[in-house]
Structure 1
Amino acid sequence: MVYRPLNKEREGALSIVYWRYLAKWENSPKIAIKQKNRSISYSELYEKSTLAARQIQKEKKPNIGIYLPNSIDYAISYFGITLAKKCIVPIPIEFTIKEIRDTVLHCELSAIITNLANLEKLKPLKMAFPQSLRILTIEDLLSNNNISEQENNIPLASESSEHDVAIMLCSSGTTGSSKRVMLTHHNLITNIKSNILSLSFNQDDITLIVLPMYFGYCNTAQFLTHLYVGATIVINEPPFTPQSLLSTIQKEKITNFTAVPSILVMLMQFKRKDQYDLHSLKMVCFGGGIIAEEIIKGLIEAFPTVGFVHTYGLTEASPRLTCLLPSDALRKIGSVGKPIPFVQVKVVDENGKEKKIGEVGEIIAFGENIMKGYYKDEEATRKAIRNGWLYTGDLGYFDEEGYLYIVGRKKNIIISKSINILPEEIEKVLLNHPLVKEVCVTSEPDEVLGEAVIAKVVPSSSMPSTEIENILEDYCRENLATFKIPKRIDIVPSLDKTYTGKIKRNYNERR
């Protein structure tokens, strides 16, 4: 689908719509977010976000951190920062104090919003930045005692440029340190509208959030999209288990949720999934990694009334670019679908020339959802965005009907005996074996081959490691060309992952 600019009336209204994001539901008693035994209506969310904003707007610097788990408090802080005309900088709750300190320095934070439960962990920051950083608790922000009557009567600034940076999210890369992706209000609103048009979300939806709210996939596609249409959000309580997921869907009459492959694998392997009443569930969106086609087929068979939507996107694209609708889920299995409204996608060669149907090349994308750039990294921004097009680093191809298929990432390519090998192709084969729960294919230096293919496998069985290795080696010989067969299969208890649940890859220095 070719990108079409929004009409002038709509374009001019975007910043107002965003700044008054909650104002359209200002007087609504409808539940906006539910969390365990707590809930908050749209009118309360607007009121509390405004209350928090009155204190946040006192900060002199524009960038404000949020260090909170998935919660109603996270949402209040999020909109409080927005209404105060500041920039949101989510800090993953899993970050170490060193990683938080690095974030403070890189993003030039003037304040971090947290809660009393996490205040102790952030105490070292007070010592490291005694003058330049304030630690604000959500409990204090929501206290009327901290606001004078005069301050309470000062109206919040509601006008701003739609091209101001609204949020700086961590990139979801699986190598090296992540960058901060600058997304504007216009980027977010455009992707929200694309998401609504492609999947027909409305105010009757009840979505279940199981992914981190600071994850780009969840931030726009679930959190903002559902509040935009006036739907209800239910936050799944940690730790995640298939039982908790299914019981919450049954209890709260969930209509949709968004998942990464590991969640769907756990769901498929859960033996009692047919014991729950899931009649309310209409749609499951998934993306963010490789998933075996057998898992998709198994889920469609196990839940015949649920539409499974395979999506593709990047944090840098706000994030969604394509989706495969349920009507094509089996016919085009393995595809990530077609571009969503207001997005254009191409597959090009190294010179930027468009590839023919079926030919593999780099996937590039264009639209008003494409990021402003990487914060304080002009070189990386220039490499990623060329003539308005986002170069994703992903490799793929279009079929004759315009459906996109992802085959791997450029930086992941293993060069063995001068032959380019995509580790994702090997992973896809191994994931189809019932003994494989998770897998990561990487390489190690080899005097003869240059690079040797190594597969790290998390098994789904307690069978002895040597037996599993032998079985998988035979399986690879049956299903892979000789040069793609791993030199070694290592059975491991777990794989290193990013804060968003993606498997980390370790690369040689040449990369």
Structure 2
Amino acid sequence: MLIKDIVLRQRGNNKTAIIFGNETISYDQLLDQASILANRLKPLTTFSNHIAIFLPNSIQYAVSYFAITLCDKVIIPISTLAKKAEIESTLIYCQAELIITNFSNLNILKEMLSGMEQATRIVIVDSDEIILINDKKMLQYNNDDLKYDDESDQIAIMLHTSGTTSNPKRVMLSHRNLISNINSNIESLQLNSDDISLVQLPMFFGYCNTAQFLTHLCLGGTIVILHTMFSPKQFLQLVEKEQITNFTTVPSVLFLLLQHKEKQRFDISSLRYICFGGGIMPVDKLRKLIDEFPSIGFVHTYGQTEAAPRVTCLLPEDALRKIGSVGKALPNVSVKIVNHNGEEVAAEVIGEIIVKGENVMKGYYKQIGETSKVLQDGWLYTGDLAKYDQDQYIYLVGRKKNVIISGGMNIYPEEIEEVLLQYPLIKEAIVIKESHELLGEVPIAKIVIHGDKKDIKNIQHDINKYCHMNLTRFKVPARIIIVENLNKTKTGKIKRF
């Protein structure tokens, strides 16, 4: 099965596929509009197999996404929050000379692309206009090295992962990778065509791309795209109005939901699951969520873009019994925790998570060396550290590269962050390493606090005292820095570096 088959097999289906504010589109209309756009794109795609999308979450994004798949081309999503240097480096690196946007973003994009090294065509999804930026010769790219004998192994999408403007990194996910993860997700959560999923995460984010966007359209379900910034009240209203059955988000959004005072005013009985991942979820806050929303099943998930992305989940029936765990592997996904020799570790021993399955990426685009570091004998070495309990449930410990080695002791920043986030005054926290003459490295905490920041010295003193009460001495941050805000990625994760 190919990604384009998700819409092709829905021909003639008048069921609502996507709701976005006051706009709706049926499956048949989605296929029709995607086909019209695909016919516009085909004569323009003789130079490269890669087509970029520069659109926010919207029905237009979905139409553009499937138009590219109907052309048998590779999707290159670019955030509308991206800056000029990011957009230029992505288009050049990914060899994409065609980019789809709408009238609302056209002027911004034209300004961003002015003076670019290569000619670029902008296709406007809500008009027949095509604009050529820079009157330069179109380059002929050879993407033969990405061609595979089996259609399912052809690259469907290249998603952004850790990298810089000067050294981008894109994960190549094939049709097989995506379809495999879709099927694992459906089987794990027992989803069906009656499900209605609320999308709040960016649609270019791997988590949303597979687990919500593609999964629910593959099922013939309905997607409701949040058309404004998230607010707890609006979320609850939307669940009630649209009879939402599942929602996927990051922990920071759920923290906002906890703070809402009028939860009981809304009928949210339709909401079966809230899936979350991509950040630290303090156990006390999760207990409170489960207590305050007893009718909702909270699903703690773990994944990586390189795994298309979902790898494990802790289902609601285990949410309290195994609280803090990310559960076990999804169906048709294999997971091990191994030591530095690649040997599986015993219970309670920390090792690296490795993953195997049809969901695992083909590799990093144009990064053979980087690919060989993480793909070994069919296993994806995630760089994430974890341990099993006696029942083989997985508990994340931290990122391999984040480990702080202080006086020979391994310190995992995520452990300290979880303790900090349980302090009532702390809104957000990040723990980083700092060089130390004697110990080599020590942990430093940067925090954002609620309310008045006038008495900073006393606040720092109280937090330091709290840390000494709740952390082993060598794990206590050497310094606590109160800041106005913390830098975040486009998907809302706090930037560690």
- 1:271 Cα offset (Å): 2.0
Aligned to 2:104: 117
The counterpart of 2:67, out of the listed 80, 86, 96, is: 80
Aligned to 2:271: 281
Aligned to 1:29: 14
TM-score, normalization by structure 2: 0.93
Which 5+ residue runs of structure 2 have no aligned equivalent?
131-148
2:59 and 2:198 map into 1 onto residues whose CA distance is 13
Question: What is the number of equivalent residue pairs in this alignment?
Answer: 476
The counterpart of 1:254, out of the listed 244, 252, 268, is: 244
TM-score, normalization by structure 1: 0.90
Q: Secondary structure at the match of 1:168?
A: strand
Aligned to 1:320: 310
Q: Aligned pair 1:468/2:450, yes or no?
A: no
1:400 and 1:420 map into 2 onto residues whose CA distance is 23
Whether the 8 Å CA contact 1:57–1:86 is kept in 2: the answer is no
Q: Secondary structure at the match of 1:119?
A: helix
The counterpart of 1:388, out of the listed 367, 378, 383, is: 378
Could you tell me which amino acid in structure 2 is paired with residue 138 of structure 1? V
Whether the 8 Å CA contact 2:89–2:166 is kept in 1: the answer is no
2:474 and 2:164 map into 1 onto residues whose CA distance is 25
Q: Aligned pair 1:365/2:352, yes or no?
A: no
- 1:449 Cα offset (Å): 2.3
> Taking CA–CA contacts closer than 8 Å with sequence separation of 6 or more, which of the two structures ends up with the larger relative contact order?
1
Could you tell me which amino acid in structure 2 is paired with residue 425 of structure 1? E
What is the 5 A alignment of 1:50-69? 50-58=35-43, 59-60=45-46, 61-69=48-56
1:379 and 1:43 map into 2 onto residues whose CA distance is 44
The counterpart of 2:434, out of the listed 435, 444, 450, is: 444
Could you tell me which amino acid in structure 2 is paired with residue 362 of structure 1? E
The alpha-carbon distance between structure 1 residues 181 and 130, as it changes in their structure 2 partners (threshold 3 A), is closer
Could you tell me which amino acid in structure 2 is paired with residue 223 of structure 1? F
2:78 and 2:481 map into 1 onto residues whose CA distance is 34
Whether the 8 Å CA contact 2:273–2:299 is kept in 1: the answer is yes
The alpha-carbon distance between structure 1 residues 289 and 172, as it changes in their structure 2 partners (threshold 3 A), is farther
Aligned to 2:293: 303
1:130 and 1:459 map into 2 onto residues whose CA distance is 44
Q: Secondary structure at the match of 2:480?
A: strand
- 1:354 Cα offset (Å): 1.1
Aligned to 1:218: 208
Aligned to 2:158: 168
1:121 and 1:208 map into 2 onto residues whose CA distance is 28
Aligned to 1:19: 4
Could you tell me which amino acid in structure 2 is paired with residue 118 of structure 1? N
1:172 and 1:216 map into 2 onto residues whose CA distance is 13
2:491 and 2:256 map into 1 onto residues whose CA distance is 16
Aligned to 1:155: none
Cα offsets for 1:100-141 (capped at 9, x unmatched) = 011111101020000011111111355434863101110235
Aligned to 2:479: 488
Q: Secondary structure at the match of 1:139?
A: coil
What is the 5 A alignment of 1:318-357? 318-357=308-347
1:250 and 1:174 map into 2 onto residues whose CA distance is 41
Could you tell me which amino acid in structure 2 is paired with residue 103 of structure 1? T
Q: Aligned pair 1:428/2:418, yes or no?
A: yes
Aligned to 1:8: none
The counterpart of 2:115, out of the listed 123, 128, 131, is: 128
- 1:468 Cα offset (Å): 2.1
1:250 and 1:421 map into 2 onto residues whose CA distance is 44
1:272 and 1:426 map into 2 onto residues whose CA distance is 32
1:130 and 1:31 map into 2 onto residues whose CA distance is 42
Whether the 8 Å CA contact 1:126–1:135 is kept in 2: the answer is no
Whether the 8 Å CA contact 2:88–2:116 is kept in 1: the answer is no
What is the 5 A alignment of 1:264-279? 264-279=254-269
Aligned to 1:4: none
Whether the 8 Å CA contact 2:84–2:113 is kept in 1: the answer is no
1:131 and 1:266 map into 2 onto residues whose CA distance is 44
Whether the 8 Å CA contact 2:356–2:380 is kept in 1: the answer is yes
The alpha-carbon distance between structure 1 residues 293 and 142, as it changes in their structure 2 partners (threshold 3 A), is farther
Could you tell me which amino acid in structure 2 is paired with residue 281 of structure 1? L
Aligned to 2:221: 231
1:104 and 1:176 map into 2 onto residues whose CA distance is 12
1:466 and 1:177 map into 2 onto residues whose CA distance is 41
Q: Secondary structure at the match of 1:65?
A: strand
Aligned to 1:9: none
Whether the 8 Å CA contact 1:412–1:423 is kept in 2: the answer is yes
2:118 and 2:407 map into 1 onto residues whose CA distance is 57
2:305 and 2:276 map into 1 onto residues whose CA distance is 15
Whether the 8 Å CA contact 2:89–2:165 is kept in 1: the answer is no
Cα offsets for 1:479-510 (capped at 9, x unmatched) = 1111111111111111111111111113xxxx
1:49 and 1:450 map into 2 onto residues whose CA distance is 56
Q: Aligned pair 1:102/2:89, yes or no?
A: yes
Cα offsets for 1:137-173 (capped at 9, x unmatched) = 1023599xxxxxxxxxxxxxxx971100000001157
Q: Secondary structure at the match of 1:254?
A: coil
- 1:175 Cα offset (Å): 12
1:271 and 1:107 map into 2 onto residues whose CA distance is 47
The counterpart of 1:44, out of the listed 24, 29, 32, is: 29
1:172 and 1:253 map into 2 onto residues whose CA distance is 36
The counterpart of 2:488, out of the listed 485, 494, 497, is: 497
1:374 and 1:76 map into 2 onto residues whose CA distance is 26
1:343 and 1:186 map into 2 onto residues whose CA distance is 13
Worse-superposed segment, 126-135 or 479-488: 126-135
Q: Secondary structure at the match of 1:332?
A: coil
Could you tell me which amino acid in structure 2 is paired with residue 64 of structure 1? I
Which 5+ residue runs of structure 1 have no aligned equivalent?
1-13, 144-158, 507-511
- 1:462 Cα offset (Å): 2.4
Aligned to 2:136: none
The alpha-carbon distance between structure 1 residues 177 and 349, as it changes in their structure 2 partners (threshold 3 A), is same
Percent same amino acid at aligned positions? 50
Aligned to 1:7: none
2:437 and 2:195 map into 1 onto residues whose CA distance is 57
2:426 and 2:58 map into 1 onto residues whose CA distance is 34
